[in-house]
Amino acid sequence: MAVIKAHGNLLSTATQRVLACLYEKEVEFQFVPVNMEAGEHKSENYLSVNPFGQVPAFEEGDFKLFESRAITLYIAHEYTDKGNQLLLSGSNKSMAVLELWKEVEAHQFDPASSKLVWELLYKPLFGKTTDTAVVEENEAKLAKVLDVYETRLSQSKYLACDYFTLADLHHLPTIQYLLGSPAKKLFDSRPRVSAWVADITARPAWSKVLAMQKK
C-alpha cells in the first residue's frame, strides 16, 4: 500500500478541506507541512507537486495530484469502501445533484466567503487593516447565497441529499473561520443553515482537523 502524503499548511482552508476528507475516509496519511512564510511553496521541489505553487498537494506513491476538490474526489472514489460514504451513487441524475452542490460551493459560496475570511481573519493575523467596504460587499453576496441554502435545506437534510457528502464537507474550513468572526451572524439568522452548520462542524473527523491546529 503506497504511502499517502498530504502537503499543505494548517492555516490554509484548501489544505483543511483535504485533511477533513482523509479523516472522514479513515485513510492513513502523513501530513507534510509546507513553510509558506519561508516561500517553500514556490521552491522547485514543491512546484513539482503543485505547479501553481499553492497548497495543498497530494501524493500516493508515484501518483500526484493538486487542487483540493480534485484530491477529495479522488480520495472519496478510491476509498469508497472505507470510512464515511461521501459520494452519491446511482443514476446520472442522482450524481448530478452532488456535482451541482459541489459547483455551488466552489463558485457561489467560496468566492464571497473566502474574501470575508481574508478580510476578517487573515489580514488581522498578518497585521494588515480590514477593508470594511469589501467586508460589507461580500457579506451581502454571502447572504444571498445562504438564502438559497436556507431554501435548499428545507427540501434536503444536507445539501446534495439526506446524508453528508463532499458537497457539505467542502464548506467546512471557510465556515469554521467565519464562525470566529462577525460574519457568524449570517449563519445564525437562518435557522436551517444554522442547524446544518452546527451539525457539520461537530463531526468527529472535522474535530481531528481542528486538533491538528492546536498542536
Residues lying near its own copies in the complex (CB under 8 A) are found at 51-52, 63, 65-67, 69-70, 73-74, 77-78, 92-93, 95-96, 99-100, 102-104, 106-108, 144-145, 148, 151-152
- Kindly tell me which of 19 and 97 has the beta carbon lying closer to its own copies: 97
C-alpha distance from residue 178 to each of 109, 135, 163, 182, 187 (Å) = 12, 12, 23, 7, 9
Q: Cα(101)–Cα(157) distance, rounded to whole angstroms?
A: 13
Q: Measured from the CB of residue 215, what is the shortest distance to its own copies in angstroms?
A: 29
Smallest distance, Å, CB 214 to its own copies? Answer: 29
> Closer to its own copies at the Cβ: 46 or 66?
66
Pairing of strands 57-60, 4-8: antiparallel
Our CB check for its own copies shows the closer of 17 and 203 to be 17
| Separation in Å, CA 54 to CA 14, 43, 49, 80, 194 | 9, 11, 10, 27, 31
**Residue in the structure block whose three cell numbers are 497530494:** 58
Q: How many CB atoms lie within 10 A of CB 202?
A: 9
- Cell 454571502 sits at which residue? 142
Instruction: Compute the least distance from the CB of residue 128 to its own copies, in Å.
Output: 19
Peptide bond into 56 cis (omega under 30): yes
Q: How far is the CB of 18 from its own copies (least distance, A)?
A: 13
Q: How far is the CB of 55 from its own copies (least distance, A)?
A: 13
Which is closer to its own copies, CB of 9 or CB of 114? 114
User: What 3-state DSSP class applies to 145?
Assistant: helix
Closer to its own copies at the Cβ: 59 or 203? 59
